[in-house]
C-alpha cells in the first residue's frame, strides 16, 4: 500500500526525508552547544562575546528546527489526506463492483465505517507514522552514538533503556492490533445498527419499536466501551512503565556522571550533556510508542481494508476479453433453461453455509415449490448445495419490440428475473440471450447501457433535478453529456412539463434525499424520465405503479406507454390495467413457468390460468 499510494508523491516524500534529516541534525546540535556554553561559563575562559555567539547559535538551531517541524507537519498532513483519499476512491470503486450478494449482507453504516473509518486510521500511516517513526528511530540512534562517544558506561545505560522500551512496545503490538481490529468491527456494527433503525424511525416509533431498539443498542454500546476501556488501560500501563524506566535511566546517568565528575574525568558541561541526552531519549522513544500504537490501529485498518480488496466479483468475470457488442434496435430476449439460487449468505463459524434461509423471496419460493404440482414430486431443487433454487429451468422467448407481462405470487421469482437480466447475479445453469448473445459474454457497462429498469422504490439524491435525472452523467467524461433541451423534452413527453415549470429554479431546483417533498407519482415519473433519457433498448418495469392512486396511476400509465414505444419491454405487474398493454403473458409459480403465450390468446382460452385470473381479479389472486 505504501509503495502504491506514495509513488505519485515521490517528490514530496523525498522533501520530507530531507527535512527530517535536517531536523535530526539540529536536535543533536542543540545539546552540544549547551554543553560548550556550560563548560565555557564554568571554566571562566568564556568571554561575553563567545557565550553570546554560542547562545545565538543555540537559538538559531532551535528556531530552524521548529520551522522545519512546522513545514514537515503541513507536508505530512497533506500527504496523508492525498493518499487516503485516493485509497477511499479505489475502495469505493471496488465495493461498487462487488456482487449484489455482498451488499445484501452489509448495511450502509457498516460500509461507511469500512471505507471511511478504517481508511481514516491510515491517514497517519501514509504520512506522519512512517516519517516520524523513522525520524525518531534515527534520533535515538544518533543520541546513543554521541553518548557512547562521551562515556561508554552512560551509553550502555541509554542503550539498555532503549532496548527495554522497544521490547515492551513489541510485546504488546499483536495484542493491540487485535484490540483495534475488534474496536473497528464493533464500530461498524454499531454504525450499521444506528443507520438501519434511524432510517426506519417513521416505522419504529408509531409501532412501539423504540424500546426494542434501545435494548439492542445498549449491548452494542457496552461492548464497544469495554473494548475501548481495555485498550486505554493497556496503553496507560505501558506509558507508566515507560516513565519508570525513564526515571531509572536518568537516575543511573546522574549517578555515573557524578562519580566521573568527582574523579575529575568529566567536565560539568559533559555531565550536563549526558543527562540532557539521556533525558532527550524519552521524547523520541515516547513518540515511537505513540507511533507504534498508531501503527497498530493502522494495521487493523489495513487488514480490514485488504479483506475488502481481496473480495472479487463473480458477476462480470466471464465477460473479460469477450467484449461482445449488442446491436441496435429493440432486442430479442430468450431464457434457455435458466436455473438460479441465491447464495449470498455469510458462512458459519466452521466455514460452511448456514442452513437457515436469509432471503424472504427464497423462503417464500421454497414454500410455494413444496406445495406446487411440479414434476419433481414437490421437492425444491438445489444448486451447488447452497440453497434451494429460486428459478427452475426457465425457458421462454420474447420477440423484438414486444412487451411481456410477468405474473405470479410474491416469491415466485419475478424480481429475480430482472436481477438476472441486469447481471446483478449470474445464472447457475442455462443461459440468458439478448439478440442471440449470452449475457455473460457482454461487458456489464455495455449490457446496462441497453437495459433500463424502473421499480416501485425510487432512489432520489440530495442534488438538482438535472443531476437526479442524468445520474450525474454530465460530470463523467466517459459518459455522453445530456443537454437541458433533451431533459425538458423528456419531461414534457412524460407529462411532467407543468411540474417542471412550477419549480422555483427549474432544472437547478434541489431535491431532498429520498425524494422528500415529492409525491409518489412525481417520484415514479422522474424515474421513468431517468430511464427515458438513457434511451435503452429493453425496458423492465418492476411493479412501478403498485403504490399509486388511480388518478396518478393514469398519468403514469400514459408515461409508461411513451417509454415502451419502439422498445422491447418486460412488465412485472399486479394490476389489470398494466397487464392490458402487454403482448405476451408469462405466469410463474414456485420459480417455474406454468403458462406462457400471447395475451389475447390466453385471455380468450377458458382453460388458461390467465383467463381464470382475469375472471377472479389479479389483485385478489396475486398479492
Is residue 252 very low, low, confident or very high in pLDDT (cuts 50, 70, 90)? confident
Domain match, 361 and 378 both: yes
Q: In what helix (H) or strand (E) does residue 179 lie, and over which residues does it extend?
A: helix 152-199
Is residue 608 situated within a structural domain? Answer: yes
**pLDDT score, position 178:** 77
> In sequence order, which residues have a C-beta less than 8 Å from that of residue 437 and are 6 or more positions away?
324, 326
E-assigned strand segments in 287-444: 333-340, 382-383, 387-388, 391-398, 403-407, 429-434, 437-438
Please determine, for residue 387, whether its predicted confidence score (pLDDT) is greater than 60: no
Domain match, 475 and 589 both: no
Domain match, 466 and 456 both: no
Percent share of the chain, pLDDT over 70: 83
Domain match, 128 and 249 both: yes
CA distance 165 to 285: 7
Percent share of the chain, pLDDT over 90: 9
**pLDDT score, position 403:** 93
Number of domains in the chain: 3
**pLDDT score, position 333:** 93
Mean pLDDT of 439-454: 83
Output DSSP code: residue 324. Answer: B
Record the cell numbers describing residue 94, joined without a space: 471496488
Domain match, 298 and 209 both: yes
Is residue 391 situated within a structural domain? Answer: yes
The domain that holds 230 is classified in CATH as 1.20.1560.10
**Cell 385478489 found at:** 620
Q: In what helix (H) or strand (E) does residue 539 lie, and over which residues does it extend?
A: strand 538-542
Is residue 525 situated within a structural domain? Answer: no
Domain match, 511 and 399 both: no
Please determine, for residue 369, whether its predicted confidence score (pLDDT) is greater than 90: no
CA distance 440 to 433: 9
Domain match, 399 and 546 both: yes
Domain match, 110 and 47 both: yes
Record the cell numbers describing residue 262, joined without a space: 568527582
What range defines the domain where residue 301 resides? 2-310
Domain match, 499 and 544 both: no
Is residue 320 situated within a structural domain? Answer: no
Domain match, 289 and 391 both: no
Is residue 522 situated within a structural domain? Answer: no
**pLDDT score, position 67:** 92
**pLDDT score, position 400:** 92
**pLDDT score, position 397:** 94
User: Of the ranges 163-172, 177-186, 291-300, which one carries the lowest mean pLDDT score?
Assistant: 291-300
CA distance 524 to 114: 33
Is residue 194 situated within a structural domain? Answer: yes
CA distance 210 to 233: 34
Q: Please answer whether residues 361 and 412 qualify as being in contact, where contact means their C-beta atoms are separated by less than 8 angstroms.
A: no
Mean pLDDT of 340-362: 47
Is residue 328 situated within a structural domain? Answer: no
Domain match, 105 and 188 both: yes
Please determine, for residue 139, whether its predicted confidence score (pLDDT) is greater than 60: yes
Is residue 316 very low, low, confident or very high in pLDDT (cuts 50, 70, 90)? low
φ, ψ (nearest 5 deg) of residue 594: -105, -15
> In sequence order, which residues have a C-beta less than 8 Å from that of residue 531 and are 6 or more positions away?
452, 453, 454, 539, 563
Name the burial class of residue 385, with classes exposed (0-12), middle (13-18) and buried (19+) by CB atoms within 10 angstroms of its CB: exposed
User: Of the ranges 359-368, 401-410, 460-469, which one carries the lowest mean pLDDT score?
Assistant: 359-368
**pLDDT score, position 585:** 93
**Cell 417513521 found at:** 202
Q: Please answer whether residues 34 and 27 qualify as being in contact, where contact means their C-beta atoms are separated by less than 8 angstroms.
A: no
Is residue 618 situated within a structural domain? Answer: yes
CB half-sphere exposure, 221, CA atoms < 13 A: 7
CA distance 434 to 447: 9
Q: Please answer whether residues 129 and 298 qualify as being in contact, where contact means their C-beta atoms are separated by less than 8 angstroms.
A: yes
pLDDT single digits (tens) 26-67 = 888 888 888 788 877 776 565 777 788 888 998 998 899 889
Please determine, for residue 550, whether its predicted confidence score (pLDDT) is greater than 90: no
Domain match, 483 and 411 both: no
The domain that holds 574 is classified in CATH as 3.40.50.300
Amino acid at each position: 500500500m505504501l509503495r502504491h499510494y506514495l509513488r505519485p508523491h515521490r517528490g514530496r516524500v523525498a522533501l520530507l526525508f530531507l527535512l527530517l534529516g535536517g531536523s535530526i541534525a539540529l536536535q543533536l546540535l542543540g545539546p552540544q552547544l549547551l554543553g560548550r556554553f556550560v563548560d565555557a561559563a564554568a571554566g571562566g575562559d568564556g568571554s561575553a562575546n563567545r557565550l553570546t555567539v554560542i547562545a545565538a547559535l543555540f537559538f538559531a538551531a532551535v528556531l530552524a528546527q521548529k520551522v522545519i517541524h512546522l513545514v514537515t507537519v503541513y507536508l505530512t498532513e497533506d500527504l496523508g489526506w492525498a493518499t487516503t483519499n485516493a485509497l477511499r476512491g479505489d475502495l469505493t470503486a471496488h465495493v461498487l463492483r462487488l456482487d449484489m450478494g455482498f451488499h445484501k449482507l452489509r448495511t450502509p453504516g457498516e460500509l461507511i465505517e469500512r471505507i471511511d473509518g478504517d481508511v481514516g486510521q491510515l491517514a497517519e500511516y501514509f504520512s506522519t507514522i512512517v516519517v516520524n517513526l523513522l525520524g525518531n528511530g534515527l534520533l535515538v540512534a544518533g543520541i546513543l552514538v554521541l553518548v557512547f562517544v562521551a562515556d561508554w558506561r552512560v551509553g550502555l545505560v541509554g542503550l539498555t533503556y532503549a532496548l527495554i522500551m522497544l521490547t515492551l512496545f513489541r510485546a504488546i503490538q499483536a495484542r493491540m492490533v487485535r484490540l483495534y481490529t475488534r474496536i473497528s468491527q464493533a464500530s461498524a456494527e454499531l454504525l450499521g445498527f444506528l443507520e438501519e433503525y434511524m432510517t426506519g424511525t417513521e416505522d419504529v416509533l408509531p409501532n412501539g419499536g423504540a424500546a426494542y431498539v434501545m435494548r439492542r443498542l445498549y449491548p452494542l454500546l457496552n461492548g464497544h466501551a469495554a473494548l475501548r476501556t481495555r485498550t486505554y488501560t493497556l496503553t496507560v500501563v505501558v506509558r507508566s512503565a515507560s516513565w519508570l524506566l525513564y526515571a531509572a535511566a536518568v537516575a543511573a546517568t546522574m549517578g555515573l556522571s557524578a562519580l566521573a565528575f568527582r574523579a575529575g574525568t568529566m567536565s560539568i558541561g559533559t555531565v550536563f550533556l549526558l543527562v540532557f541526552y539521556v533525558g532527550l531519549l524519552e521524547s523520541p522513544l515516547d513518540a515511537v510508542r505513540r507511533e507504534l500504537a498508531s501503527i497498530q490501529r493502522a494495521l487493523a485498518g489495513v487488514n480490514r481494508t485488504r479483506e475488502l480488496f481481496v473480495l472479487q466479483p463473480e458477476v462480470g468475470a466471464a465477460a473479460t476479453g469477450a467484449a461482445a457488442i449488442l446491436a441496435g434496435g429493440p432486442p430479442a430476449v430468450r431464457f434457455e433453461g435458466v436455473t438460479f439460487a441465491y447464495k449470498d449468505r455469510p458462512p458459519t463459524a466452521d466455514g460452511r453455509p448456514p442452513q437457515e434461509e436469509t432471503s424472504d423471496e427464497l423462503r417464500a419460493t421454497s414454500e410455494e415449490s413444496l406445495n406446487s404440482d411440479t414434476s419433481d414430486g414437490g421437492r425444491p431443487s438445489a444448486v451447488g448445495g447452497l440453497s434451494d433454487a429460486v428459478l427452475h429451468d426457465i425457458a421462454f422467448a420474447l420477440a423484438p419490440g414486444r412487451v411481456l407481462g410477468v405474473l405470479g405470487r410474491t416469491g415466485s421469482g419475478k424480481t429475480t428475473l430482472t436481477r438476472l437480466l441486469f447481471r446483478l447475479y449470474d445464472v447457475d445453469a442455462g443461459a440468458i440471450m439478448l439478440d442471440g448473445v449470452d449475457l455473460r459474454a457482454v461487458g456489464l457497462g455495455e449490457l446496462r447501457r441497453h437495459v433500463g429498469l424502473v421499480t416501485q422504490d425510487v432512489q432520489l439524491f440530495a442534488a438538482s433535478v438535472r443531476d437526479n435525472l442524468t445520474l450525474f452523467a454530465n460530470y463523467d467524461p466517459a459518459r455522453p453529456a445530456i443537454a437541458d433541451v433533451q431533459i425538458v423534452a423528456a419531461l414534457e413527453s412524460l407529462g411532467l412539463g407543468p411540474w417542471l415549470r412550477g419549480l422555483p429554479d427549474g432544472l437547478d431546483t434541489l431535491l431532498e434525499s429520498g425524494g422528500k417533498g415529492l409525491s409518489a407519482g412525481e417520484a415514479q415519473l422522474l424515474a421513468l424520465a431517468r430511464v427515458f433519457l438513457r434511451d435503452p433498448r429493453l425496458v423492465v418495469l418492476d411493479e412501478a405503479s403498485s403504490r399509486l392512486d388511480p388518478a396518478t396511476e393514469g398519468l403514469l400509465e400514459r408515461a409508461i406507454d411513451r417509454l415502451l414505444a419502439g422498445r422491447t419491454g418486460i412488465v412485472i405487474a399486479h394490476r389489470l390495467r398494466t397487464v392490458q398493454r402487454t403482448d405476451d403473458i408469462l405466469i410463474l409459480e414456485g420459480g417455474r413457468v406454468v403458462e406462457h403465450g400471447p395475451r389475447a390468446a390466453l385471455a380468450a382460452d377458458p382453460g388458461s390460468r390467465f383467463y381464470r385470473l382475469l375472471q377472479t381479479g389479479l389483485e385478489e389472486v396475486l398479492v
